[in-house]
């Protein structure tokens, strides 16, 4: 493997202030070029695609949002279908920034809006706290199955609805292969690059998140840097450590995927709590 990493592609939109990105600091300190170019984009569903799912929005008392795109799609669908969302509707969001994005469509202070800390556990705990609601779970297609599977296991009353679709961008194989290292952030990033570049021709791959690493492993892609981990909580830190190791001539082993037992234990704990509450009633 070459010990030269001079050009990196981050499969994300460029930050509004590039100089504040952790990758900017790496580019300056280590003398590498960092470019931003998403491999995928998420678009809202059409009114026809929404109607084909036969979901009645007003049958629900709360909506779960994990992305801004699904928020846009939800309110555009409501406008197109002339659905007036009641003031009593609750909104459960995975992060504060997603919750604040609701201000584009509603008066924030007058609505019942809750948000988690961005983690799977935080979102599930928030949903469990509001378990008496009938939830509409907004999803993109394809999507990670962990949230709907968890809600089913916990006997949460919910309806999944596809509000957005993930499609590949038009970046070419030649452009991808011009980079020494490509940073992937979702299983669909992995799918996109696999459709364009054979595993043996891949640049060095770094991944963020358990699902992304798992998908790369399933596709026989060698992953040389991954986050989060104890030594690298961020992908920027993982990339930094990798570049320093190869420049010193050190061998870097492939990152090995291992299942998250902590997540499974968390779900069992939530199931037990809900069961105890049910018995007390």
Concatenated DSSP letters of 190-244? HHHHHTTS-GGG--EEEEESHHHHHHHHHTT--EEEEES-SS-SSHHHHHHHHHH
> What pLDDT is stored for residue 279 in this prediction?
59
CA-closest candidate to residue 153, choices 281, 280, 269:
269
Residues 3-7: contacts with CB under 8 Å, at least 24 apart = 3/246, 3/247, 3/249, 4/180, 4/246, 5/32, 5/180, 5/181, 5/204, 5/242, 5/243, 5/246, 5/247, 6/31, 6/32, 6/33, 6/180, 7/32, 7/33, 7/35, 7/178, 7/179, 7/180, 7/181
Please compute Rg for the chain using Cα positions. 21
**Helix crossing, 120-129 with 261-280: angle to 10°?**
10
- pLDDT bucket at 1, cuts 50 / 70 / 90: very low
Q: Tell me the per-residue pLDDT of 153-197, one tens digit each, with 9 for 90 and over.
A: 999 999 999 999 988 899 999 999 999 999 999 999 999 999 999
CA dihedral 36, 40, 46, 50 (to 10 degrees): -120
Secondary structure class of 144 (helix, strand, coil): coil
At residue 44, what are phi and psi to the nearest 5 degrees?
A: -70, 155
pTM: 0.70
Please give, one letter per residue, the 3-state secondary structure of 233-269. CCHHHHHHHHHHHHHCCCCCCCCCCCCCHHHHHHHHH
**Using CA atoms, how far apart are residues 165 and 141, in angstroms rounded to an integer?**
5
Q: Tell me the per-residue pLDDT of 101-151, one tens digit each, with 9 for 90 and over.
A: 999 999 876 568 999 988 889 999 999 999 999 999 999 988 888 899 999
Q: Are 34 and 10 in contact (CB under 8 A)?
A: yes
Mean pLDDT of 221-246: 93
Burial 200-231 (b: 16+ CB within 10 A, else e): eebbbbbbbbbbbbbbbbeeebbbbbbbeeee
| pLDDT higher at 112 or 206 | 206
Q: Are 215 and 191 in contact (CB under 8 A)?
A: yes
């Amino acid at each position: 493997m070459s010990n030269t990493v001079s050009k990196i592609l981050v499969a994300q939109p460029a930050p509004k202030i590039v100089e504040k990105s952790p990758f900017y600091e790496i580019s300056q300190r280590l003398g590498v070029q960092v470019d931003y170019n998403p491999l995928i984009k998420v678009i809202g569903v059409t009114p026809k695609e929404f109607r084909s799912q036969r979901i009645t929005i007003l049958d629900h008392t709360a909506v779960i949002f994990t992305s801004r795109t699904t928020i846009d799609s939800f309110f555009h669908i409501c406008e197109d279908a002339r659905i007036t969302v009641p003031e009593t509707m609750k909104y459960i969001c995975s992060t504060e920034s997603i919750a604040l994005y609701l201000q584009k469509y509603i008066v924030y202070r007058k609505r019942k809006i809750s948000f988690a800390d961005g983690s799977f556990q935080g979102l599930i705990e928030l949903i469990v706290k509001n378990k008496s609601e009938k939830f509409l779970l907004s999803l993109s297609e394809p999507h990670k199955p962990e949230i709907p599977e968890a809600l089913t296991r916990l006997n949460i009353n919910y309806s999944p609805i596809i509000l957005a679709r993930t499609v590949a961008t038009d970046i070419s194989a030649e452009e991808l292969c011009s980079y020494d290292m490509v940073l992937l952030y979702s299983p669909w990033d992995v799918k996109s690059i696999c459709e364009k570049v054979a595993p043996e021709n891949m640049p060095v791959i770094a991944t963020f998140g358990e699902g992304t690493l798992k998908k790369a492993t399933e596709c026989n892609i060698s992953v040389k840097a991954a986050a989060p981990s104890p030594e690298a909580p961020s992908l920027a830190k993982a990339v930094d450590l990798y570049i320093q190791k190869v420049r010193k001539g050190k061998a870097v082993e492939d990152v090995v995927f291992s299942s998250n037992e902590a997540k499974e234990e968390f779900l069992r704990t939530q199931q037990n709590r809900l069961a105890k509450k049910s018995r007390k009633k």
